[in-house]
Copies of this chain bind each other. A is one copy, B any other.
Amino acid sequence: MKQSKSVDYQAIIDEVYAEVKSLDLQGKVADYIPELAKVSSEKYGICLVDNQGNTFTAGDAEEPFSIQSISKVFTLTMVFHAFKSKLWHRVNVEPSGNPFNSIAQLEYENGIPRNPFMNAGALVITDALISKFENAKEKIATFISDIAGCTNIQINGEVLMSEMDHASRNRAVAYFLKAHQNIENENIENLIQTYIYHCSMEMNCVDLARSFSFFADQGYSRYCDRQILTPSQTKRLNALMLTCGFYDESGEFAFRVGLPGKSGVGGGIAAVLPGKFSIAVWSPELNTKGNSLRGIKTLELITDKISFSLF
């Protein structure tokens, strides 16, 4: 791997920002819950944080948005130490090849979700969190605020209420897991609420890039000055994000971009180049797989312009 001593990240980001803006990318803002559909499709922000702690931004990088499924990375991190001992019986680590909310595969595979980023897998993780912490919601909020640099991350109450009203499918998945003895806690409504709670978090690109920085730095977060995961755990979670982080487009993303990362239907994407930097992009228009159109294009162009890569 060639090493570039000094890369001008700001110049690259500015260039890519302008180039992507000029493209006429036509997607669709998520509308499965009314609140998400209200966001302006024009929004577009980027933030890159390098391992030296420098922050580079472009566009709407400081405007909060709904992180949605990106939150699954945080909850997984919080129980990841249990993966070797307990969780791997309950959740697999294989790419799915099916939409994130599919229930058919879960039936064929006896209630063991394919990976922790499918809705089913994330519900199992949230269930493990509820078992572990008395006040799981509070713990999640604190953890995310911490790794984002002690900012005060908040949930969007409108999104939360809207999602609770449109959660039949997640309830179906949760009861299906319960039927397969893969949910420990009796109170399914509390599980759904906790799950939606963390999906309803709002962060901006700067928060998000900082909160992902420990994935680029062998588990160490400079923003809360703490080792979040061991290097070995970090490596594994990065591998998981690379193979499973983008729904059923994960292969395509690895092929075109080649960075571990996670997307959300709010239009956010967080990704890392281990040893180098973490990055967050936000733009609400999604492609048919549910990933931000501009977000993916942004990361593809950036990885083309820098002289080093994962592979």
Binding site for B on A (CB under 8 A): 1-2, 92-98, 102-105, 107-108, 114-115, 168-169, 171-176, 178-179, 218, 232, 234-236, 238-240, 242-244, 248-252, 254-256, 258, 260, 274-275, 304, 309-311
Contact of A235 among B98, B102, B311 (CB under 8 A): B311
Minimum CB–CB distance for A117 against chain B, Å: 11
> Given A104-B103, A260-B311, A311-B238, A95 and B243 touching (CB < 8 A)?
yes
Which 8 pairs show the lowest CB-CB distances between chains A and B? A1-B275, A104-B104, A95-B95, A238-B311, A94-B251, A172-B175, A168-B179, A172-B176
How many Å lie between the Cα of A172 and that of B180 in the bound state? 11
Give bound CA distance, A238 to B258, whole Å: 9
A251-B255 CB under 8 A given contacts A176-B168, A178-B168: no
* Known interface pairs A235-B258, A311-B234; A176-B240 also in contact (CB < 8 Å): no
Q: List 13 A-B contacts (CB under 8 A).
A: A2-B218, A94-B248, A94-B251, A102-B107, A103-B103, A103-B172, A168-B178, A169-B176, A172-B173, A239-B311, A243-B243, A243-B255, A244-B251
